[in-house]
């Protein structure tokens, strides 16, 4: 039986104010090419890099969250290779003394995490003759995480990548948006007989720039290799890219031998010794760790009695989880978990729908619903003071205006129908206008009553209660 073995290498850009080894702004939104550059990040000879300690702290923070070991000493090394996006001929990275050793995430053992610099961005012109280089990205702090080769399915690889993205966001050290290239996944895949105890020939997958691609590329590659092996063919050790349109991997370059990067210690940056480096306190970093995604999941499941899928939904987006929690605490009467589900339902369906339609996030300034206002509306629903249909209207009005529920109900004159007299006049009107339905009801057709109730509900814009309306109809007919 063939068993796949997968190891992941994931790069993520850190969102520090300045670049890794110079004072240039680290601004991924900068649209003007080569705006944020200086002799250091352009790779001029003879310049002096200085390490950005905020980036160092960020990687240590990640290492602590992973439960990894933070060695007392770390240093930077030069990794030599030639490419037009790296004019100085080497990347400053970390070789044998990385910031983090070991750790675990989503059940997958982590080998190491180190810090390095990103390269420039190449754009290949349409004429096929020329390429453009933008150095805004050159020297942006980049963390690289390497897992042990302990993953055995595409689903596991996907879960790991998603959990890492979430963790980076919770730690607020990277936005890790794959579509923007802020997080980039590479996978090593080999297939071998389960009982042989050996690894097969390793194929490296690159250009994986979405979660869909992680799953697609790994699945495709496992199938491609097992087909070859079944036909007694040899697997070529190579680097393969992922074509998302054809949904296939393709050969990029065949490795004849292992790369020789000629690593050497970076002579211009002193090695770090955290026992002596006054600017960095490991204790301080440790105590600054926020509640981590898996801790939040456990607490939400316990405190709010939600289903695992509901917990996952909330925790997958921290601002949504925060909004939920603040709204819950604003709810005055807690009826033993019933409101928890009510709030979840309105957040996960109605509110999400409104946000999506307006292309907004709960963290945007234009999002006008506070947890307190949201909770007020939920309380009205919970008490039965407002129907779910009216609640939807109020919510969408609240989304537009930011007014509180009572004000909206007043403005929309939903409450004008809640008084018995006013409701009676509407019911009378409906009876007068629907002679046939009234006659049908008198003949014993219960459907007719449903129809009439619907008519009243429409006229009152959902501001009346169906039970009340039905009783009144029976009475007056």
Q: Is 22 in the site for Zn ion (CB under 5 A)?
A: yes
Q: Is 218 in the site for Zn ion (CB under 5 A)?
A: no
Q: Is 20 in the site for Zn ion (CB under 5 A)?
A: no
Q: Is 51 in the site for Zn ion (CB under 5 A)?
A: no
CB of 19 to Zn ion, least distance (A): 5
Q: Is 41 in the site for Zn ion (CB under 5 A)?
A: yes
Contacts of 164 (CB under 8 A, 6+ apart): 10, 12, 105, 106, 145, 176, 183
Q: Which does 41 bind (CB under 5 to 8 A by kind): Mn ion, Zn ion, none?
A: Zn ion
Q: Which is nearer to Zn ion, 28 or 466 (CB)?
A: 28
Q: Is 412 in the site for Zn ion (CB under 5 A)?
A: no
Rounded-to-10 torsion of CA 78, 84, 88, 91: -20
Q: Which is nearer to Mn ion, 144 or 376 (CB)?
A: 144
Q: Choose the stretch contacting Zn ion; rule: CB under 5 A; options: 3-11, 33-41, 96-104, 288-296.
A: 33-41
Strands (E), 32-97: 73-74, 77-80, 90-93
Q: Which is nearer to Zn ion, 39 or 270 (CB)?
A: 39
At residue 101, φ and ψ (nearest 5 deg) are -120, 130
Q: Choose the stretch contacting Zn ion; rule: CB under 5 A; options: 41-49, 63-71, 204-212, 322-330.
A: 41-49
CB of 37 to Zn ion, least distance (A): 6
Nearest to 134 by CA among 42, 200, 58: 42
CB of 178 to Mn ion, least distance (A): 16
**Alpha carbons 260 and 82: distance in angstroms, whole number:** 12
Nearest to 64 by CA among 142, 173, 150, 141: 173
Q: Is 140 in the site for Zn ion (CB under 5 A)?
A: no
Size of the residue set binding Zn ion (CB under 5 A): 5
Using only the alpha carbons of the chain, give its radius of gyration.
30
What angle do helix axes 318-330 and 293-304 make, rounded to 10 degrees? 30
Q: 3-state SS of the chain: helix, strand, coil percent to 5?
A: 40, 20, 40
Pair type for strands 73-74 and 90-93: unpaired
User: Token match 């003394």: residue?
Assistant: 97
Q: Which is nearer to Zn ion, 46 or 384 (CB)?
A: 46
CB of 50 to Mn ion, least distance (A): 21
CB of 42 to Zn ion, least distance (A): 7
CB of 116 to Zn ion, least distance (A): 15
CB of 121 to Zn ion, least distance (A): 15
Nearest to 76 by CA among 55, 46, 102, 104: 55
Q: Considering only residues 6, 12, 20, 24, which one is a binding residue for Zn ion as defined by CB under 5 A?
A: 24
Q: Which is nearer to Zn ion, 24 or 59 (CB)?
A: 24
Q: In 3-state terms, what secondary structure has residue 182?
A: coil
Q: Which does 144 bind (CB under 5 to 8 A by kind): Mn ion, Zn ion, none?
A: Mn ion
**Which residues would be at the binding site for Mn ion (CB under 5 A)?**
144
CB of 39 to Zn ion, least distance (A): 7
Quickly list H helices, 359-465.
371-382, 388-401, 405-411, 420-433, 435-442, 446-459
Q: Choose the stretch contacting Zn ion; rule: CB under 5 A; options: 20-28, 143-151, 271-279, 447-455.
A: 20-28
- Between the alpha carbon of residue 431 and those of residues 8, 230, 373, the distances in Å are 70, 77, 37
Q: Is 38 in the site for Zn ion (CB under 5 A)?
A: yes
**Alpha carbons 109 and 475: distance in angstroms, whole number:** 71
CB of 11 to Mn ion, least distance (A): 6
Q: Choose the stretch contacting Zn ion; rule: CB under 5 A; options: 37-45, 67-75, 164-172, 378-386.
A: 37-45
Q: Which residues bind Zn ion (CB under 5 A)?
A: 22, 24, 38, 40-41
């Amino acid at each position: 039986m063939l068993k796949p073995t997968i190891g992941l290498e994931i790069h993520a850009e850190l969102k520090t104010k300045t670049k890794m080894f110079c004072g240039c702004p680290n601004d991924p939104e900068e649209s003007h090419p080569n705006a944020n550059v200086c002799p250091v990040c352009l790779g001029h000879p003879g310049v002096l890099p200085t390490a950005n300690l905020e980036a160092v702290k960020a990687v240590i923070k990640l290492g602590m969250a992973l439960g990894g070991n933070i060695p007392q000493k770390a240093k930077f090394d030069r990794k030599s290779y030639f490419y037009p996006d790296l004019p100085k001929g080497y990347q400053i990275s970390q070789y044998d003394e990385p910031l983090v050793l070991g750790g675990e995430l989503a059940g997958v053992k982590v080998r190491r995490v180190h810090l390095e610099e990103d390269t420039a961005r190449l754009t290949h012109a349409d004429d096929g003759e020329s390429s453009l280089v933008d150095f805004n990205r050159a020297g942006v702090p980049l963390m690289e995480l390497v897992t042990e080769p302990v993953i055995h399915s595409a689903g596991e690889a996907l879960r790991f990548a998603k959990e890492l993205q979430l963790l980076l966001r919770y730690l607020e050290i990277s936005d890790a948006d794959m579509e923007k290239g802020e997080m980039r996944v590479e996978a090593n895949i080999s297939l071998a007989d389960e009982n042989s105890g050996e690894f097969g020939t390793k194929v490296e997958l690159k250009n994986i720039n979405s979660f869909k691609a992680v799953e697609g590329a790994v699945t495709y590659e496992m199938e491609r290799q097992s087909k070859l092996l079944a036909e007694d063919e040899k697997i070529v050790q190579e680097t393969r890219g992922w074509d998302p349109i054809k949904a296939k991997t393709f050969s990029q370059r065949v490795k004849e031998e292992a790369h020789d990067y000629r690593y050497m210690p970076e002579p211009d940056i002193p090695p770090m010794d955290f026992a002596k480096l006054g600017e960095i306190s490991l204790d301080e970093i440790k105590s600054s760790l926020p509640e981590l995604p898996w801790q939040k999941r456990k607490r939400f499941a316990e405190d709010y009695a939600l289903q695992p899928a509901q917990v996952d939904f909330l925790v997958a987006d921290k601002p949504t989880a925060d909004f939920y929690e603040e709204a819950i605490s604003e709810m005055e009467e807690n009826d033993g978990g019933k409101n928890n589900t009510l709030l979840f339902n309105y957040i996960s369906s109605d509110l999400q729908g409104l946000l999506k339609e307006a292309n907004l996030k709960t963290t945007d300034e234009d999002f006008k619903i506070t947890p307190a206002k949201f909770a007020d509306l939920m309380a009205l629903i919970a008490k039965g003071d407002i129907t779910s249909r009216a609640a939807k209207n109020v919510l969408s009005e609240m989304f537009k205006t930011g007014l509180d529920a009572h004000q909206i109900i007043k403005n929309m004159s939903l409450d004008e129908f809640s008084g018995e007299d006013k409701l009676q006049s509407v019911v009378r009107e409906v009876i007068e206008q629907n002679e046939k339905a009234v006659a049908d009801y008198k003949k014993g057709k219960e459907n007719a009553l449903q129809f009439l109730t619907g008519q009243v509900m429409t006229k009152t814009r959902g501001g009346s209660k169906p039970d009340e309306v039905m009783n009144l109809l029976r009475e007056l007919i």
